[in-house]
Structure 1
Amino acid sequence: MNEEQKVEPTMKRRSRFVVAGTGSGSGKTTVTLGLMRAFAQRGLKVQGFKCGPDYIDPTYHAAVTGCPSHNLDSWMTSNDYLMDHFVQASEAADLSIIEGVMGLYDGKEPLGLTGSTAEIAILTDSPVLLVVDVRSMGRSAAAIVLGFQQLEPRVRIAAVIVNRCGSASHYETVKAAIEESCGIPVIGWLLRDNSLSIPERHLGLLPAIERGELEPLFNYAAERVAEGTDLDRLMAIAQAATPLQNPPVELGLLGQSIPIDTSPVIAVARDAAFNFYYTDNLELLVRAGARLIEFSPLRGEGVPEQADGLYLGGGFPEEFASVISRNLAFMEDLRAAADNGMPLYAECGGYMVLARSLTDRAGRQHEMAGIIPAHTVMLERRAALGYREVTAREDNLLLKQGEGLRGHEFHYSVMNYDNTQRSYAYDSKGRGGSQPEGYVRGNIMAAYAHIHLASYLPAASRLVEACRLYREQRLQ
């Protein structure tokens, strides 16, 4: 009997590991991207995952691997959903690489694991590859790894990569110290190399990725990582990961599947200005019966004619405000959609575009769609950051009054409303307390929060059902 036959039928083999850091800036993103590209160059299908709500790193992953990356967030979604999603999304992959967030144990709570890389490693029962920045230290590196090893026994640190070594002899010093004190193999190292620095998260980053300008960096990272890392040993660690079982997730809450010829069409704005979408949000809309069609306002496209609903995600519309403003077809289609009662859902950047104007950081004002009676103004300092728990103030496209969703908010703008009566979409609760947020009117709903539909599964069905009803009315 071979090894595969010994596995229970309900169990799923998933070769995987988590790349974690001792803290932000330790080099885990560089290592992750280098490993992803290096394994892909070996002919493996690599699937990327990102711990937490971040959008930028998954964009890197997609560029390096050639397939969409998925977020794993243990606060926004249930543990059962997270596990089901991970098992399903990794099914076709030869190797899944999960990039952590911040330091291994950093999360939503000072004394807990919620929202941390460690929690994701425990939930997915994944071995951890710890990235340690060893600049200006020798044996002290062992003390750092030992502390990470002992803080939480349920986390299995299977191997270490040491980053920013001064020389080969420096590497041998820290390797010997870590392995002797911790019993954990050090399987790779990187020299200090400014050429390996991932660009800062400036607002032109995503267009640069789309144009392929970072390909040389990705290939260089893969070359350096492969040169200093025992990839065969790391792959063996990944393949030895415990088989996983699909938990029973009530995806039946999404409703019955709809024949493709009667499925409502949701148009999704997708380009460098509108690109912040959780992959599984889109998948959940499809599971609920929608057919998605992408279009690009930056390429001069308007809303597709067959659209029965519209989803404007977040991104960086402020960087392209003049281009968006000049796309008269897009602006006119937005206004017509709103006037005709088409379901129109917008988050963050999309919310900004529905306002009357957008003032960029240079003080230039650009005319926007004018659907929401407000003016967006960009600030030099961040206006909001953090998890949000939102509760509907009245029935809307996603929720009944009193129902809630979880999400994340991150923006550098404020929305200044005119002196008109405003209906808020949510009560939004974060670290600073609760406050009303967003805008709702008829089939229009918009807010700053990037919500995760898996935090309340009926929400996806509600949006698709609204689009189906609009479709029936439109075709009468």
Structure 2
Amino acid sequence: MTDRLAKHQPHAAPQGASSARAVNHRPRLVLAGLSGGAGKTILTLGICRALAVAGLRVRPFKKGPDYIDAAWLGLAAGRDATNLDPFLLPEARLPSLFLEKSRDVDISVIEGNRGLFDGMDLAGSCSTAALARTLLAPVVLILDATKMTRTAAAIVAGVAGFEPGLHLAGVVVNRTAGPRHRDIVSGAIEQLAGVPVLGLLPKIFENPIPERHMGLVSNREHGAVDAILDNLAAVIRQHVDLDRLLAIARSAPPLPDSTAPVAAISGPVPAAGPAPVIGVVRDAALWFYYPENLEALERAGARLAFVSLLDDAPWPDLDGLYLGGGFPETQVEGLAANTATRCRVKTLAAAGLPIYAECGGFMYLCQGLDMDGRTHAMAGVFPVTTTLCARPQGLGYSLARVVRANPYHPVGTVLRGHEFHYSRCQAALGACSGEAPGLPGPEAFALTMERGVGMLDGRDGLLFKNTFAAYTHIHAEGAPHWAMNFVNTARGYAKAKMPPAAGRG
């Protein structure tokens, strides 16, 4: 690291700058690749860690619906990462969300996903490039130069001129073979493509962060997290010009004043009285939550209490329960062995406790989880099982239409969400017998999938009393009704269980 970076002081707006510039001038850059696997996550982690260690206040962002990379980015930077997704969130909300989350930091680092121009259609909608244009952010491309020299310049030149409005500010070359290779490839890019080379990374023969079937191994499953991130930072300091990266980030223009507020919370105005307590399962099995979802519940009037499915710690008196996604398959023995908690969840569901579950949370609410030739008992709220498969069973963005009344989503709403699961729901559609266990009929599902897989035959969103479970993940900013409806249902449950004239302190 250079002396100039080591002695860095937090960046201030130039003297005489306008108030708009002082407020909305947010140093930022987007790190993007030509495809998945180019090395952008490793680069982003190393940059965030190196800058944070140097004393800068770093805010990481992740483009796309990714929980695992976002968790690692938060650890690297020392601040929670925020997902910015042009599909899940209204386009007008992206700049204002970025401005809110980048307040009072020195630099924002945004990791792209897939290839820079890869979107949902031929026009490249919802791509990393589209997000960079929305945020007026300079782009730094990470390029895998394996067995490539002069061709790298042709690729970079093509990227630089492919779409109007994209500012390709620099390149970091990855997986270089040696000094001669680095000299030729960097010279070709700078002289023939006219784009600065900001770093030349050597080949790293062993992945510093092990991967699993859903991408990087969770930070909750891997020890020595700090050592891994510090090693990445050391590599980046040695091979990437961080001062030039900072200068590029600071060259980003001010963002216009945004008028898109936090997603409006729709639904009845909450009644006065004690805040309902919503339990949020956060442990090694279930931990996939967008921070904005939890913030939305609090804004709607809830008090959150974090609980675990894996230990015997007592739970507070709950008025609702939120089970996010995660890796129940990695903790299946512990989940199955904790009979008391499985029975507690099933009893609460039968009593009408509002329960909202996504993906891994749905798997826990089933009768069992089949894997490795065994069926492991789960909570048994729904009369189905799930089976872990070798290949993805649902992957990508989804559109789900609400077709059945439920406490959380109005009928007729089209939910913009995403799926990422290797498990498959095991059941055949049958006659639903209401309270009694039995195969679910079509009327047991609240959602029909217009895009995506869901649980069974294009359906998703199983219902039982006030319990709703789906493979579909949602983002509260794109479903502004959800938080208030959840909290109002929890408030009604709390009121119903109170004795007459009683209150809660």
Instruction: Give me the TM-score of the superposition, normalised by structure 1.
Output: 0.93
Say whether the 8 Å CA contact 2:384–2:427 is kept in structure 1: yes
Asked if residue 62 in structure 1 is aligned to residue 85 in structure 2, the reply is no
Q: Once the 2 structures are TM-superposed, how far is the Cα of residue 397 of structure 1 from its aligned partner?
A: 2.4
Mapped pair 1:162 → 2:173: yes
> Which one of 158, 162, 176 corresponds to residue 187 of structure 2?
176
Structure 1 match to 2:154: 143
Counterpart of 2:450 in structure 1 is: 429
- Give ranges in structure 2 of 5+ residues lacking alignment: 1-12, 433-439, 500-505
1:213 to 1:35, Cα distance in 2 relative to 1, 3 A: same
Q: Does 1:375 align with 2:396?
A: no
Q: Decide which of 423, 428, 448 is 1:413's aligned counterpart.
A: 423
- Alignment-mate amino acid for residue 239 of structure 1: R
Whether the 8 Å CA contact 1:162–1:188 is kept in 2: the answer is yes
Find the residue that maps to 1:145 and give its secondary structure.
helix
- Offset at 1:254? 4.5
Distance apart, 1:201 and its partner CA: 2.9
Q: Does the C-alpha gap of structure 1 residues 293 and 196 become closer, same or farther in structure 2, counting only changes over 3 Å?
A: same
CA–CA distance in structure 1, aligned partners of residues 176 and 271 of structure 2: 58
- 2:468 counterpart letter in structure 1: M
Match runs of 1:43-442 below 5 Å: 43-109=55-121, 111-195=122-206, 197-202=208-213, 206=217, 209=220, 211-244=222-255, 245-249=257-261, 251-254=263-266, 262-301=274-313, 304-360=315-371, 362-417=372-427, 419-421=430-432, 422=440, 423-430=444-451, 435-442=458-465
Contact persistence 1:255–1:288 (CA under 8 A) = no
Contact residue 277 and residue 313 of structure 1 kept, 8 A: yes
Question: SS state of the match for residue 98, structure 1?
Answer: strand
Q: How far is 1:18 from its partner?
A: 0.5
Residues 261/165 of structure 1: CA separation in 2 closer, same or farther (3 Å cut):
farther
Moved more, 272-281 or 5-14: 5-14
2:71·2:219 contact (CA, 8 Å) conserved in 1?
A: no
C-alpha distance after superposition, 1:303-360 (max 9, x if no partner): x223210000111112211211111232122122112211001011110111111111
> As a proportion of its length, which structure holds more helix?
1
Summarize the Cα distance change of 1:328–1:431 in structure 2 as closer, same or farther, 3 Å threshold: closer
**CA offset digits 1:192-219 (Å, max 9, x no partner):** 1214544223479655545533433222
The share of aligned pairs that are identical, in percent, is 39
**Quick one: distance in 1 between partners of 2:496 and 2:157?**
64
Say whether the 8 Å CA contact 1:74–1:120 is kept in structure 2: yes
Shift of 1:416: 2.1
Q: Deviations over 1:385-444 (max 9, x none)?
A: 121111111121221211121110111112223744131020112167992223013211
Q: For the Cα contact (< 8 Å) 1:196–1:217, is it kept in 2?
A: no
SS at match of 2:175: strand
Aligned position for 1:32: 44
Instruction: Classify the secondary structure of the residue corresponding to 2:401.
Output: strand
User: Aligned pair 1:23/2:46, yes or no?
Assistant: no
Kindly indicate whether the alpha-carbon contact (under 8 Å) linking 2:29 and 2:137 is maintained by their aligned counterparts in 1. Answer: yes
CA 1:196–1:366 in 2, change beyond 3 Å: closer, same or farther? closer
Change (3 A) 1:201 1:123: farther
Aligned-partner Cα distance in 1 for 2:388–2:206: 32
Q: Is the 8 A contact 1:83 1:247 kept in 2?
A: no
- Find the aligned partners of 1:136 and 1:264 in 2 and give their Cα distance: 60
Equivalent residue, structure 2, for 1:469: 492
Shift of 1:258: 6.6
Tell me the alpha carbon deviations over residues 248-292 of structure 1, each in whole angstroms, 9 at most, x when there is no partner.
Answer: 236343569979972211111012210111221222222222221
Q: Deviations over 1:344-380 (max 9, x none)?
A: 01011110111111111x1111111111111112222
Q: Deviations over 1:86-137 (max 9, x none)?
A: 111111322111101011011111x122221111101111111110111111
Equivalent position SS for 2:211: coil
Task: Please provide the CA RMSD for this pair.
Answer: 2.4
Q: Distance in 1 between matches of 2:224 and 2:61?
A: 23
Report how many residues are paired.
473
Does the 8 Å CA contact 1:389/1:407 hold for their aligned counterparts? yes
Map Cα deviations across residues 162-210 of structure 1 (whole Å, 9 max, x no partner).
Answer: 1111112322221211112222211111111214544223479655545
Q: Which moved more, 1:426-435 or 1:145-154?
A: 426-435
Letter in 2 for 1:70: T
Q: Which TM-score applies when normalising by structure 2?
A: 0.88
Deviation per residue, 1:440-464 (Å, 9 max, x gap): 1321100111112222211221111
In the superposition, relative to structure 1, how do residues 203 and 408 fare at CA in structure 2: closer, same or farther (>3 Å)? closer
